[in-house]
Chains A and B, each alone.
Chain A
Amino acid sequence: MGRTFFEKVWDDHVVADLGDGAFLIHIDRHFLHEVSGAVSLKEIDARHRTVRNPELTFGTVDHVLETVPGRGMTTRMPGGDDFLREFTERIGPHGIRFFDLHDPRQGIVHVIAPELGVALPGMTFICGDSHTCTVGGVGAFAWGVGSSDSEHALATQTVIMTKPKTLRVNFTGQLRPGVHAKDMILALIAKYTADGGTGYAIEFAGEAVRSLPMDGRLTLCNMAVEFGGRTGTVAPDEITFAYLKDREFSPRGADWDRAVAYWRTLASDADAVYDMEYELDCSTLEPQVTWGTSPEHSVAIGGVMPDPAASADPIARTSRQRAADYAEIEPGSPVMGLPITGAFIGSCTNSRIDDLRAAAAILKGRKVAEGVTAICSPGSTATKLLAEAEGIDRIFIEAGFEWRESGCSLCMSGATGGESFPRDARVIASTNRNFEDRQGPHVRSHLASPVTVAASAIAGHIADARAFASKEDEQ
């Protein structure tokens, strides 16, 4: 029997079979950020351990770092300064490559890892952050770990892991105009629930995925963890190779040719069998927006708020009722038209250049509605500079958006006491988590694609971007 893409990658990384399903797995790339990284490095130092393979390890600052222009090594997040300071002080002596706040390569780890060619197909890739699965978009087997597993990897370049089962998600058909990768993943999670992929190594496949450009694949894989997945990947193909060629840390010359030849062998064999298969038809897919406090609470943009009482399972019913109470939306009322006071384009989900270009096409020549605080934080400093070179920053600023430095920013800072939307705000965001209080105390977050966020910012309420033909199209 043939092997799946995941099984091929897994087999190439087993250092030892530890019995009863546990394995010692080699880690090819390990990225640290200032929050989990500070704790891991502190522990490594306290125990006088050495970093086994510093050349395979990278670091940057993104989580508590401010995104306001002129930022420095202090943050309004309580306790945040300690993370920035300890991390910066501790990482250098270990000889780990570090992209600090002034480095043009700085950015959200999951955005810069593929951008720099640090994450490559067929690699095992970890970081102390749950959205590490993002870089599965380039075909890496990537997953988030806690500080202790990260410490284990620093000391041994391995982690202990149970072999996950495999799940293939077939996205059939082609997306219609105005529908994006974000809509695919939100619809999938709504269809199969937030733990529909729990524990699986998920492979996103099918016609719609094959034609997604790299930025969209990264968005898709980003939210694999919101689906419960151990990882989410897209098998590498020509789009992957074209994207990675000549990136700073991509292999060069003869190594590149060897790498591509190896990567071509990784696709699942025709007779490979997955433990589970799901399917979603993209040809009829509508833009999605969430209503509640779990990414599974999403509906088509033209849909209505579901009735929590309709859930058959009592625990699901209570959970959904709680979400509905938090969201303060009447069951049966349309989601479109809900007034918003905040809009955010940023995060490792949707702040790459394609996202900014698509949002700019909507924003061009228009103004953000009065009473809406609109903020954009590009996913990396490099993305920000590229957007500025294309004049995208001007479009955002003239529309009334704040144009920020790169970092996690309002994706989660509200939960940590950093910059946040004001209490009770209703916000539309291109991020991945609509959890209670994540973007500020009692802030209601609606997740959507960047174009839906842009259109809603202009309308002042949740809006369908397809109704906003770009000004350029009209000319």
Chain B
Amino acid sequence: MSMQPFASETGVCAALMRNNIDTDQITPGHTGMKVQKTGFGEGLFFNWRYLPDGGDNPDFVLNQGPFRDTKFLLAGTNFGCGSSREFAVWALRDFGIRAVIAPSFGAIFTSNCYMNGVAPIILDEAAVSAIAGEIAPDHCTMTVDLVRQVILSPDGHEHRFHIPDLQRERLVEGLDAIDATRKRDDQIAAFQTADKLRRPWVYAVEGAAA
């Protein structure tokens, strides 16, 4: 999967202001069991988004008018905590969400976002709540600029954020991390050679045969 580049995007922003939205809620396990990396958009927030009879739950924000095309999602603290399942990020991406904006994120989720072209943007609680307060169905267009590292809220307020350079460049260019790291194989080999002298037991894995 090559990643979709993300320099500056403008689109619909929705608010899901709950704390601790874990990856089990983002993609309940029963919706994500496929040995592949795409095709998970339908399962996003499954238990909240659909009624027991399979129909759309009209109370859930992503089922409401313009928010069906949500590109940016605002959330409470600790978004993406819980299981490491990358399905959660694939579902957000497949739905069309390019960035999640929250006061804090699960650490594994953050890494998974970088690997898949979704921007995990940290803003303080006051800023997230302020933007959430601006949003209305007819007033939900926002811009996220990863090059300048600013968000332009629906009311036109600028909020600065920071994503580490390397991760940000990869998001902006849509670069594959493995290809980039493989170019450093000499460095990795040199590390291992030196480390073998210091910690030989790490590399001499005995035990029974495979």
A-to-B contact residues, CB < 8 Å: 12, 15-16, 18-22, 24, 26, 28, 35-36, 38-39, 42-43, 49, 52, 55-56, 64, 77-80, 82-83, 86, 95-98, 116-117, 120, 122-123, 128-130, 132, 143-149, 151-152, 155-158, 160-162, 164, 194-195, 198-199, 225, 228-230, 248-249, 251-252, 255-256, 258-259, 262, 294, 296, 315-316, 318-319, 322, 412, 415-417, 433, 435-438
Interface residue ranges of B139-198 to A (CB < 8 Å): 164-167, 177-178, 181-182, 184-185, 187-188, 191-192, 195, 198
B82 CB within 8 Å of chain A: yes
Q: Can you give 12 contacting A-B residue pairs, CB < 8 Å? A: A15-B187, A18-B166, A22-B166, A143-B108, A144-B84, A148-B86, A152-B115, A155-B181, A199-B104, A322-B18, A415-B30, A436-B25
Contact in complex: A26, B191 (CB < 8 Å): yes
Inter-chain CB contacts under 8 Å: number: 218
B-to-A contact residues, CB < 8 Å: 1, 17-20, 22, 24-25, 28-30, 33-37, 47, 76-78, 81-86, 89, 104-108, 111-112, 115-116, 125, 129, 164-167, 177-178, 181-182, 184-185, 187-188, 191-192, 195, 198-208, 210
Contact in complex: B178, A436 (CB < 8 Å): no
Nearest-neighbor residue (CB-CB) of B47 within chain A: A437
Contact in complex: B24, A437 (CB < 8 Å): yes
Contact in complex: A21, B181 (CB < 8 Å): no
- Report which of A49, A130, A322 forms a contact with B178, defined as CB distance below 8 A: A49
Seed contacts A79-B33, A147-B86, A149-B112; 11 additional CB < 8 Å A-B pairs: A12-B195, A15-B191, A52-B188, A56-B203, A98-B210, A143-B108, A225-B108, A229-B107, A319-B18, A412-B29, A415-B29
Known A146-B86, A318-B18; judge A162-B164 contact (CB<8 A). Answer: yes
How distant is the Cα of A415 from the Cα of B46 in the complex, in angstroms?
12
How distant is the Cα of A142 from the Cα of B35 in the complex, in angstroms?
25
How distant is the Cα of A162 from the Cα of B129 in the complex, in angstroms?
27
How distant is the Cα of A463 from the Cα of B169 in the complex, in angstroms?
54
Contact in complex: B185, A79 (CB < 8 Å): no
Chain B neighbourhood of A161, CB < 8 A:
111
Known A20-B164, A156-B181; judge A198-B191 contact (CB<8 A). Answer: no
Give, as a whole number of angstroms, the nearest-CB distance from A120 to chain B: 8
Nearest-neighbor residue (CB-CB) of B202 within chain A: A28
Chain B neighbourhood of A15, CB < 8 A:
184, 187-188, 191
> 5 shortest A-B CB distances, which residue pairs?
A79-B33, A416-B29, A251-B201, A148-B115, A146-B86
- Report which of A16, A198, A249 forms a contact with B104, defined as CB distance below 8 A: A198
Contact in complex: A437, B184 (CB < 8 Å): no
Give, as a whole number of angstroms, the nearest-CB distance from A74 to chain B: 14
Nearest-neighbor residue (CB-CB) of B52 within chain A: A441
- Report which of B30, B201, B207 forms a contact with A255, defined as CB distance below 8 A: B201
How distant is the Cα of A45 from the Cα of B108 in the complex, in angstroms?
24
Nearest-neighbor residue (CB-CB) of A55 within chain B: B205
Chain B neighbourhood of A438, CB < 8 A:
24
How distant is the Cα of A315 from the Cα of B128 in the complex, in angstroms?
12
Chain B neighbourhood of A157, CB < 8 A:
188, 192
- Report which of B82, B199, B208 forms a contact with A130, defined as CB distance below 8 A: B82
Give, as a whole number of angstroms, the nearest-CB distance from A404 to chain B: 19
Give, as a whole number of angstroms, the nearest-CB distance from B200 to chain A: 6
How distant is the Cα of A317 from the Cα of B165 in the complex, in angstroms?
36
Nearest-neighbor residue (CB-CB) of A157 within chain B: B188
Give, as a whole number of angstroms, the nearest-CB distance from B129 to chain A: 8
How distant is the Cα of A160 from the Cα of B206 in the complex, in angstroms?
28
Nearest-neighbor residue (CB-CB) of B129 within chain A: A315
Chain B neighbourhood of A21, CB < 8 A:
164
Contact in complex: B107, A36 (CB < 8 Å): no
Contact in complex: B33, A26 (CB < 8 Å): no
Chain A neighbourhood of B112, CB < 8 A:
146, 148-149
- Report which of B24, B111, B178 forms a contact with A435, defined as CB distance below 8 A: B24
Give, as a whole number of angstroms, the nearest-CB distance from B113 to chain A: 9
Give, as a whole number of angstroms, the nearest-CB distance from A249 to chain B: 4
Known A315-B19, A416-B30; judge A436-B104 contact (CB<8 A). Answer: no
Contact in complex: B178, A151 (CB < 8 Å): yes
Contact in complex: B181, A160 (CB < 8 Å): yes
Known A16-B184, A417-B29; judge A146-B85 contact (CB<8 A). Answer: yes
Chain A neighbourhood of B22, CB < 8 A:
433, 435
Nearest-neighbor residue (CB-CB) of B195 within chain A: A26
Contact in complex: A194, B205 (CB < 8 Å): no
Contact in complex: A20, B166 (CB < 8 Å): yes
Known A123-B202, A319-B76; judge A24-B35 contact (CB<8 A). Answer: no
Contact in complex: A26, B188 (CB < 8 Å): yes
How distant is the Cα of A86 from the Cα of B35 in the complex, in angstroms?
8
Chain A neighbourhood of B36, CB < 8 A:
39, 42
Give, as a whole number of angstroms, the nearest-CB distance from A376 to chain B: 22
How distant is the Cα of A251 from the Cα of B201 in the complex, in angstroms?
6
How distant is the Cα of A21 from the Cα of B115 in the complex, in angstroms?
17
How distant is the Cα of A252 from the Cα of B200 in the complex, in angstroms?
11
Contact in complex: B35, A80 (CB < 8 Å): no
Contact in complex: B30, A149 (CB < 8 Å): no
Known A146-B84, A146-B112; judge A195-B33 contact (CB<8 A). Answer: no
Contact in complex: A39, B35 (CB < 8 Å): yes
How distant is the Cα of A63 from the Cα of B106 in the complex, in angstroms?
21
Nearest-neighbor residue (CB-CB) of A91 within chain B: B210
How distant is the Cα of A195 from the Cα of B82 in the complex, in angstroms?
11
Contact in complex: B164, A22 (CB < 8 Å): yes
Contact in complex: B33, A319 (CB < 8 Å): no
